[in-house]
Structure 1
């Protein structure tokens, strides 16, 4: 039997929740500020996954979500969704940390259409439970975990319904219980959490509490404390699921530096009606699960793109599901049909840096290493425009074509980490221009650019290249990448175009090539 590597995906799919419907597994992951958001993946063996849909194309279209007036929602947006299937309907529930609202989406088909509504209140890291008596509950919180019964139309707390604190963490912690997941299994209620202790191993651990009723006492303990030998990065937070054969697994995540938070599949079993994670307390680095559809061929989680798209019957174009915009896009300013074989980006506002560039098109980077290249046609650039390819995160790096007084230059720009900055980044630093490390004159207005990223054992670097006469030439520095809470996501590759002096310019991107170095 072929064994697979664990962690199962070397890319940023944090806060997983997983369910099984008949022979099919579905997993949702946090997408924060990226749009479309609420990515849902499908699998038939819990190991190999493909993106099948996003729950929403846009959320509330606030100025920050649209990057208007140099406002952003980096590190906010959609967090830690709960995915459930009940009586023929799929449910996705989550909060957005910029709007401070709780959202509930419903659909009869996993690919939609999804109906959107709000649940009054704000429920951090919430988990839905549909009980057999048709009562519905949310469990949520940080350090203090609360259980709240919802009304029948799921719009808010039920009047005179159950509301109580069910678990409270101790004082000796760096991060209190959160990332709640609530299940009813064989008549008992199980609550799973992540927390981060100050003592012991000093890393994230997984905990579980159990009760015979929602009114009764929940008792429990830590059930997993393992870093798989990787830099004391504990594996924790996520959902559990059973196979058709009755085996059980937990889908958790592990911090892996600048690549982000990556999914880990943990075998589990039950002893005396309590879950036991791992094998002798450890997570196997090789894993195999029987597939329910062994012949299925999975679509890749990252892809190259020639940008040849045909509109559908409604005249609309849907990009490949691997793409997500850095925020809600301005659809008037991008096209893949205006010039077939090219992604055309136009500018509609001035931006100080690539982070605040509207319509940056992104894909997740993959480990242990990857390289991405694209050809940029800058014949339509205005003076002060920048267009190219970037490693998108708070401490971003980029290589791009720019135009100054009618002449073209290649530049490598980066935001370096200030050692005195907190993990949340520099106050106001997201609105400053990046540092230009190298600039060279370039005689042509068309150039092929490349970014190479290395995440091997936490190397976390990006290097930038341009092609000249068939040769790749390095530009600028080897740039250090960081996972920080200013973006709260793994590093992505982005295709960008932004204006610093005048709007109305255009840039065309051709032949995007993605090469994973597994």
Structure 2
């Protein structure tokens, strides 16, 4: 018997997205009062977020990229822009994050917290090897105060500051190296801090929780309760947990806040719990199971049940699950959609979407030597050993690759300043795999070259002083390269590449210039144009 079943379109959409996850055609603001997750389909990992007045601010970890710890702003929790970075000089953290070392992939600036109290924004974060740091700002767009090291220690992560109603400052963090025999059980510690927030009162140290993989700590005070939000690893995956108490040192009650599916929803966990002016609540989070785009950012509605926040769609057990689309929290007319990408290099400072691979040599790049261009000077990689040369090559400037239906990046590059041994071009960059298209100069001759899987393919000779290089990729992360000598006719070069992530970071698209033979040569980048589907 054939039975026709009619499902209302909205119900079908909700069912479809909850079963199959992110779709190729849709993400972010839909322009009709709804949004689809992820709201940012790119690598904004280890998120925390707050509301101050009618504005929302978030931070995202950056590992070895400089400047470090991205700061984002939104008016509606769906459309976000990068407005600054907290750390201008990564060598304030460690010399290993400098261009002269380049040996800290997967390390550097890890998760942190952003809070607003005492008329300032406070950011705390940790690194696995160097301990905890803090900075403040009266304007989240900067400037941020020079980094202050709160505690030099290793084996700790995922910290958060908290200002109680009486002005007492607290600090919470995870020690993930507490037991050499069982590194899965992490200890979560609570400290009081000095009134300036720069030092921990070590005598106040107490462990308030221990469980497998417990981290992603946040502290709140809501309706007379202290709430400790964190994540931990259960058989289903990494889930959100919460403890609450009338006293900040306990005793605590505890509940699970969401269910996860590693495959379909990619484990949303690390993030910020936010109350709107109208009283509604949301959770801005990353997806912990990264794909080639990294750990993308989603916005989940929050429902309070019996004094507990349920993350996502509440189930019969009172625990939430992933929500892929929902009404927008706030509708703002004519809001600008999408993230910053394009740059014509007319500004005197780099636009905030750019991050260098490690702390750059500031005397080897310039926006002023030739107005309207980014000049990159070439120098030798650090201890090159073959293989993925870009892992040790300075002057690689990058931004996040978006996971959208269609993506196209084009750069216009002038190469008359190159020297023998020089190599400059366009790259997709990851510690798990790098591909490039560019120009090499050997024996006073230049030619196009394409590298994939550490194999170099030689292309046609280049006699022009100006070239255009292009990368395209799709929702699955399949990339192709093209080149042009006139900016109109683009010819393919090389095969298809699968974009990948590595060392907790998603794929980056970037521009590079280095020289294997001598410290000599430069290229001028006229523009970086990135078109993507919204």
Q: What is the TM-score when the length of structure 1 is the normalising length?
A: 0.87
The aligned runs of 1:258-277 (5 Å cut-off) are 258-277=292-311
3-state SS of paired residue (1:225): coil
Retained in 2: the 8 A contact 1:78–1:95?
yes
Match of 2:122 in 1: 91
Q: Aligned residue for 2:479?
A: 462
* Contact kept in structure 1, 2:400 and 2:506, CA below 8 Å: yes
Counterpart-to-counterpart distance in 1, 2:149 and 2:34: 43
1:357 to 393, 399, 405: 393
Q: Verify: 1:191 aligned to 2:233, yes or no.
A: no
Residue aligning to 1:32: 63
- How many angstroms does 1:465 deviate by? 1.2
Q: 1:383 aligns with which of 405, 420, 425?
A: 420
Aligned to 1:476: 494
1:173 alignment partner in structure 2 = none
Q: 1:501 aligned to 2:501?
A: no
The 3 A distance-change label for structure 1 pair 308 and 357 is: same
Q: Distance in 2 between matches of 1:159 and 1:464?
A: 55
The answer on whether the counterparts of 2:81 and 2:340 sit within 8 Å (CA) in structure 1 is: no
Distance 2:346 2:200 in 1: 48
Number of residue pairs matched?
475
Q: What SS class does the counterpart of residue 96 from structure 2 fall into?
A: coil
Which of 144, 164, 173 pairs up with 2:187?
Answer: 144
Q: Is the 8 A contact 2:173 2:189 kept in 1?
A: yes
Match of 2:28 in 1: none
Say if 2:405 is the partner of 1:366.
Answer: no
CA RMSD of aligned residues (A): 2.1
Task: Give the structure 1 partner of residue 141 of structure 2.
Answer: 111
2: CA distance, partners of 1:437 / 1:165: 56
**Contact kept in structure 2, 1:438 and 1:475, CA below 8 Å:** no
SS of aligned partner of 1:267:
strand
Deviation at 1:93, TM superposition (A): 0.3
Alignment of 1:166 with 2:208, yes or no, is yes
1:234 aligns with 2:264: no
How far, CA to CA, are the matches of 1:402 and 1:158 in structure 2?
56
Match of 2:285 among 244, 252, 255: 252
Deviation track 1:205-264 (CA, whole Å, cap 9, x = no partner) reads 22222222122222313221234x954622111110100000011111113411011111
SS in 2 for 1:160: strand
- Cα offset for 1:283? 2.7
Q: TM-score, normalised by structure 2?
A: 0.84
SS in 2 for 1:307: coil
CA distance in structure 1 between the partners assigned to 2:232 and 2:460 by the alignment: 49
**Local SS of the residue matching 1:476:** strand
Counterpart residue number, 2:17: none
Change (3 A) 1:271 1:168: same
Q: Which residue of 1 aligns with 2:346?
A: 308
Secondary structure in 2 aligned to 1:51? Answer: strand
